[in-house]
Amino acid sequence: MEPWDKLEEECGVFGIVSHPEAARIAYLGIYALQHRGQESAGIATSDRHKLHMEKGMGYVADVFDENRLGRLPGDSALGHVRYSTAGESAAWNAQPILIDCWRGPIALAHNGNLTNAPQLRRELERDGAIFHSTSDSEVILHLMSRSRRRTLPEAFVEALRMVQGAYSLALLTPEYLLAARDPHGFRPLCLGRVNGSYAIASETCAFDLIDAEYVRDVEPGEVVRIEEKSLESEMPLPKEKPAFCVFEHIYFSRPDSIVFGRTVNSSRREMGRYLAVEHPVDADVVVPVPDSGVSASIGFSRESGIPLEFGLIRNHYVGRTFIEPRQSIRNFGVKVKLNPVREILRGKRVILLDDSIVRGTTSRKIVQIVRAAGAREIHMRITSPPVIAPCYYGIDIPTRHELIASMKSVEEICGFIGADSLGYLSLESVFRAVDDRKQYCSACFTDRYPIEVAPEEKQKSLFEREED
């Protein structure tokens, strides 16, 4: 089955310190962050003397059972979920990564991508380092271990000074948890409290599930140390211009999360509203592509006055494995997830609302099944600008030439997907929708990168190892 044509987040991170049910709370935390990664799940805990770890391939609910949680004693825990794409999954890339070095045991969980990891890895390898994963995150542990700084937190900061790129990461030692966010703040990382214990999470929806209160974001360039019930903060890294990933608001994060200080649902509704202004069309119904298009469709419908209808229904039981028919069923990969409601679509002029177009293959199929359901006209509206450039900051994005918008004009894309019209939201409107007083990264739309990436440094090619 051809993969669903979406950009994919690379990870979710959750940590809790000094809580009597640390492993269980971490389990719930990564459960709430499951949408950020479905390939692997792991939890490390500290019992104040040693670290313990359990991780495995699959969904949080499948990796962990009572037995496995029972092997995670201690009152601090660090959890991680990792993304899943077709060819790149591998048990050895599951996180947290647990290592021993002269500073003692350390568990690390990372969301993001280090742009200079290939160079650093090459240098470390030249210096004799051996790598057990193809993950860029392992570089940080090598740098820390080689640092001459006296304390582990100092070594951590020294390592962070050497790496470039995107990182929201956390590190568990027997005594404390360190969390850091890169100076641009590409990926989110939030601070919460529950019964006096501090927690960190990629998104606030993890706090909601455990009844924790959202306190604030870990700031770009900030390093926090959480030990027992206390938190210390430092800003040891050079200040940079913020570059929050705008795609978190467009697609990745859950709509009920507060990300970069703003509720995702509001951003999406606004995107829908601006889209109606920018690309008006005379139509009968606004139909969101579930689930990402739903919040935006409310804004679009309200602004345009065109009624919202759920003309595409998602099958809630789609997951994991699936056995396909041998004889091809047309657009099967889309049909197994989405089913058109003929009564809504038949004879109608339909506005289809989606968050983005990557390769265009899935959009093309959706247009086909909507048309087969009897739609008279199909106007595709996208709540983001054309994606024309790869992301080097933690998103699993196809190579440039696979991005339809980097190769074709909007008109050509419209032709390819078979719609009657196609409208992308302008970057200006996206910025307004997410609160333009904040500063976002929009490299995937503009090809202008906040951190330069040498053209020859396409890490995937270097890091690649053949996996299962």
Only one of the segments 185-193, 218-226, 328-336, 386-394 lies at the binding site for its own copies (rule: CB under 8 A); that segment is 328-336
Should residue 223 be labelled a site residue for its own copies when binding is judged by CB under 8 A? no
| Interacting residue with its own copies among 13, 16, 51, 451 (CB under 8 A) | 51
| Interacting residue with its own copies among 92, 412, 421, 431 (CB under 8 A) | 92
Touching its own copies, residues 152-211 (CB under 8 A): 205, 208-211
Should residue 137 be labelled a site residue for its own copies when binding is judged by CB under 8 A? no
Of residues 281 and 336, the one with the C-beta less far from its own copies = 336
Only one of the segments 141-149, 272-280, 412-420, 431-439 lies at the binding site for its own copies (rule: CB under 8 A); that segment is 141-149
Beta strands in 23-75 (DSSP E): 40-46, 51-57
Touching its own copies, residues 281-300 (CB under 8 A): 291, 294-295, 298
What is d(CA 56, CA 43) in angstroms, rounded to the nearest whole number?
10
Of residues 325 and 455, the one with the C-beta less far from its own copies = 325
Should residue 50 be labelled a site residue for its own copies when binding is judged by CB under 8 A? yes
- Residue 245: active-site member: no
Indicate the DSSP class of residue 400: G
Q: How far is the CB of 250 from its own copies (least distance, A)?
A: 16
Check if the beta carbon of residue 59 is closer than 8 Å to that of residue 320.
yes
Should residue 131 be labelled a site residue for its own copies when binding is judged by CB under 8 A? yes
| Interacting residue with its own copies among 162, 281, 341, 407 (CB under 8 A) | 341
Query: 406-439 b/e with 16+ CB inside 10 Å = b?
Result: beeeeeebbebbbbbbbbbbbbebbbbbbeeeeb
Should residue 10 be labelled a site residue for its own copies when binding is judged by CB under 8 A? no
Touching its own copies, residues 102-121 (CB under 8 A): 102, 105
Of residues 60 and 352, the one with the C-beta less far from its own copies = 60
Should residue 86 be labelled a site residue for its own copies when binding is judged by CB under 8 A? no
Touching its own copies, residues 59-78 (CB under 8 A): 59-61, 64-66, 69, 71
β partners of residue 46? 51, 76
Check if the beta carbon of residue 179 is closer than 8 Å to that of residue 221.
no
CA distances from 61 to 29, 32, 72, 342 (A): 12, 11, 16, 35
Q: Is 255 helix (H, G, I), strand (E, B) or coil?
A: coil
Beta strand pairing call for 177-181 and 223-227 = antiparallel
Site string for its own copies, 245-274 (x = CB under 8 A): ---------xxx-x----x-xx--x-----
Residues 6 or more apart from 1 whose CB is under 8 A from it? 322, 324, 332, 333, 336
Q: How far is the CB of 371 from its own copies (least distance, A)?
A: 15
Check if the beta carbon of residue 333 is closer than 8 Å to that of residue 367.
no
Should residue 305 be labelled a site residue for its own copies when binding is judged by CB under 8 A? no
Q: Is 212 helix (H, G, I), strand (E, B) or coil?
A: coil
Touching its own copies, residues 372-411 (CB under 8 A): none
Should residue 4 be labelled a site residue for its own copies when binding is judged by CB under 8 A? no
Number of residues this chain uses to bind its own copies (CB under 8 A) = 97
Check if the beta carbon of residue 346 is closer than 8 Å to that of residue 377.
no
Q: How far is the CB of 86 from its own copies (least distance, A)?
A: 14
Residues 6 or more apart from 278 whose CB is under 8 A from it? 423, 425, 426, 429
End-to-end, the C-alpha distance of the chain in Å comes to 18
From the candidates 11, 205, 245, 414, give the one annotated as an active-site residue.
Answer: 11
Catalytic residues: 11
